[in-house]
Structure 1
Amino acid sequence: MTRFLTLGEIMVEMAPAPDSPGLFRLGYAGDTFNTAWYARRLLPASWTVSYGTVIGDDPMSTDLAQFIERQGVATDTLRRIPDRTVGLYMIQTREGERSFSYWRGQAAARTLADDPDWLDSIFANRAVIQFSGITLAILAPEARKSLCAALARARAAGSHIAFDTNLRPLLWDSAEAMRSGLLQGAAVSDTVLPSFDEEQLAFQDATPEETVQRYRAAGASCVVIKNGEAPCHGWSQTDGTVTCTPPDVARVVDSTAAGDSFGAGFLAARATGASLGTAMTRAAQLAAEVIQHPGALAPQIFEIGESS
């Protein structure tokens, strides 16, 4: 199988225009879509990279689908439903600090798990299926169970399930619901990709080893912990424990997609045969490059690579 799928929500983004105060620039963004975007550029051309989500039947949803396709990501796993649209968020910056306002009440992606047969169809014969804590958080509890059941079926059929925990506490009904949801996602996953600062927030972990042990106990066969400038900690059943020190970065421009690109780098490397340590190193190197450029997607990184 050479088919890579990420699953979640991609939203309309309204960001301040750099040189025009009061004006906003329209774009599209979403954590799991960012991972698909980077995976498409890292995996061989023989691989298919698709994005799974639900959109509406309105013009904005059509524009979004066309955007995904222009990025080289397949849209065969999009589902449309009437009388819905896509979510929207706006970025505002004051004294260098960014804040976010969200409008997602009519977002079609909230119905992602309402059709189990559709989920089974898009999960079939995928080498890798990646989802995130945000994917789970936007769903109602019963829908969350339905999605995890479909992922478990795909895992049993041979797909490698990867879970980026990616915490957004405000999306969850409570801290307890968030902790329960994370363990629910981990229980159906082969690889779990948490961030240590978020695990400290959610579970009060004192060390990365505690994080590894929790997700091992949940059933994961591989856990890789992102830890900012500090060493990454990884464990897998085949490679044991591995640490990796990220490259030094002189100036962080935009950390928006640090974790998303790390996940893409790691999963693409593992899918093409890299060891745990090699995959972690490649992922850390990519994330270090990404955060030195503005925006979640950094095409200039790959343009440089192609010309060198």
Structure 2
Amino acid sequence: MRIVCIGECMIELSGSGEDLWRSGFAGDTFNTAWYARALMTGGTVDYVTTVGSDPLSERMLAFMASGGIGTDHITRHPSRVPGMYLITLKDGERSFTYWRDSSAARCLADDPDAVAAAVGGADLVYLSGITLGVLTSDRRAALLEVLKGRNVAFDPNLRPRLWPDTETMCAAIMDAAHVSRIALPSYEDEADFFGDADEMATLQRYADAGATEIVVKNGGGTMLVLADGDITTVDPGPKVQPVDTTGAGDSFNGAYFSARMAGLGPVEAAKAAHQMAARVITHRGALMPMDLIRQETAA
């Protein structure tokens, strides 16, 4: 099995004490690739983006490779560099400050033929609303054209700061939904920007767009799962007190994909994915070490 994740990996700065910051690498689709790779017992996970030719880009590629994530289809930009973000925490909830205007990842779809080669033969191709948000409108269209007819999974991951206005964001999200078979929306975000009255309204909108497998995440609350034409309500179990919610949804997606690749049905995969996300929010930063992921999952 081969999963290909498309998007932006960034330099992450997270607090480690008074006026001290710890650096790492993260980004929504890369986080998903990380958790999928940690939890898959076979197959491959490749990442598609553009990085610079600078030392931090070299370190980023080495970090990806050290986690077993394929980098063969990552392109280089001669002058741009990776974007960066800083996490601020309050009561376990995070807020972000970004520096990404000159991010090399904004050029990831400049060569559609290279993207087509990268996703060729993939069992699953994953992208997010952030993948779309860092691209210009013509590059978004080119990327979605490449993905038509493939087994595409999509997390809308609505981030209005990436977009000129809400209308443009919502239109682009639904354009991507129309080329996706799997949709993994988060109800709270969808209600804020699409005005969905309840989780069923969110599920129905993505089903109307053509998705046939949908998990409506709900911030630790009851989820809805559509599969094989049936809708199931999934109770994720007891809530967990968060230390840091960074990467929760991304880890959910990675665990969901790995469970589906292992043969679990969508409902069981959603339960396993929620358990993974519940573990992640008890740790700081977007990425748990892979050996710890495997250890806690096996326990």
Which TM-score bucket, shorter chain as reference?
A: over 0.9
Query: Aligned residue for 2:2?
Result: 3
The alignment status of 1:90 with 2:86, answered yes or no, reads: yes
Distance 2:206 2:296 in 1: 37
Residue 98 of structure 1 deviates from its aligned partner by 4.5
1:209-248 counterparts in 2 under 5 A? Answer: 209-236=200-227, 238=228, 240-248=230-238
Number of residue equivalences:
297
The alignment status of 1:301 with 2:296, answered yes or no, reads: no
Q: Percent identity among equivalent residues?
A: 41
Question: In the superposition, relative to structure 1, how do residues 68 and 247 fare at CA in structure 2: closer, same or farther (>3 Å)?
Answer: same
> Which range moves more in the overlay, 269-278 or 179-188?
269-278
Work out whether residues 11 and 89 of structure 1, in 8 Å CA contact, stay in contact via their aligned partners in 2: yes
CA deviation profile, 1:90-142 (whole Å, cap 9, x unmatched): 23457977542211122110011110110110010000111000000111111
Counterpart secondary structure, 1:17? strand
Distance 2:281 2:296 in 1: 15
Report the residue type matching 2:203 in the other structure: V
Work out whether residues 259 and 272 of structure 2, in 8 Å CA contact, stay in contact via their aligned partners in 1: yes
Work out whether residues 247 and 288 of structure 1, in 8 Å CA contact, stay in contact via their aligned partners in 2: no
Distance 1:287 1:135 in 2: 21
Selected match of 2:124 from 103, 122, 128 = 128
Query: Aligned residue for 1:32?
Result: 29
Distance 1:289 1:7 in 2: 25
Residue 303 of structure 1 deviates from its aligned partner by 2.4
Work out whether residues 248 and 280 of structure 2, in 8 Å CA contact, stay in contact via their aligned partners in 1: yes
Residue 211 of structure 1 deviates from its aligned partner by 0.9
Selected match of 2:281 from 288, 291, 294 = 291
The alignment status of 1:78 with 2:62, answered yes or no, reads: no
The alignment status of 1:61 with 2:57, answered yes or no, reads: yes
CA deviation profile, 1:126-170 (whole Å, cap 9, x unmatched): 001110000001111111101110111xxx2xx421001111111
Residue 38 of structure 1 deviates from its aligned partner by 0.5
Query: Aligned residue for 1:171?
Result: 162
Q: Which has the higher contact order (CA 8 A, sep 6+)?
A: 2
Runs of 5+ unmatched residues, structure 1: none
TM-score by length of structure 1 reads 0.92
Distance 2:196 2:89 in 1: 32
Question: In the superposition, relative to structure 1, how do residues 94 and 248 fare at CA in structure 2: closer, same or farther (>3 Å)?
Answer: closer
Distance 2:200 2:123 in 1: 28
Work out whether residues 196 and 208 of structure 1, in 8 Å CA contact, stay in contact via their aligned partners in 2: yes
Counterpart secondary structure, 1:228? coil
Counterpart secondary structure, 1:273? coil
Runs of 5+ unmatched residues, structure 2: none
Distance 2:190 2:102 in 1: 30
CA deviation profile, 1:167-222 (whole Å, cap 9, x unmatched): 11111110100110110110110001000000101111111111111111111111
Residue 297 of structure 1 deviates from its aligned partner by 1.4
Report the residue type matching 1:191 in the other structure: I
The alignment status of 1:42 with 2:69, answered yes or no, reads: no
> Which range moves more in the overlay, 24-33 or 122-131?
24-33
Work out whether residues 92 and 244 of structure 2, in 8 Å CA contact, stay in contact via their aligned partners in 1: no
1:62-211 counterparts in 2 under 5 A? Answer: 62-92=58-88, 98-152=94-148, 156=149, 159-211=150-202
Work out whether residues 94 and 246 of structure 2, in 8 Å CA contact, stay in contact via their aligned partners in 1: no
Work out whether residues 276 and 297 of structure 2, in 8 Å CA contact, stay in contact via their aligned partners in 1: no
Work out whether residues 50 and 74 of structure 1, in 8 Å CA contact, stay in contact via their aligned partners in 2: yes
Distance 1:250 1:121 in 2: 42
Report the residue type matching 2:85 in the other structure: Y
Counterpart secondary structure, 2:85? strand
Distance 1:280 1:98 in 2: 24
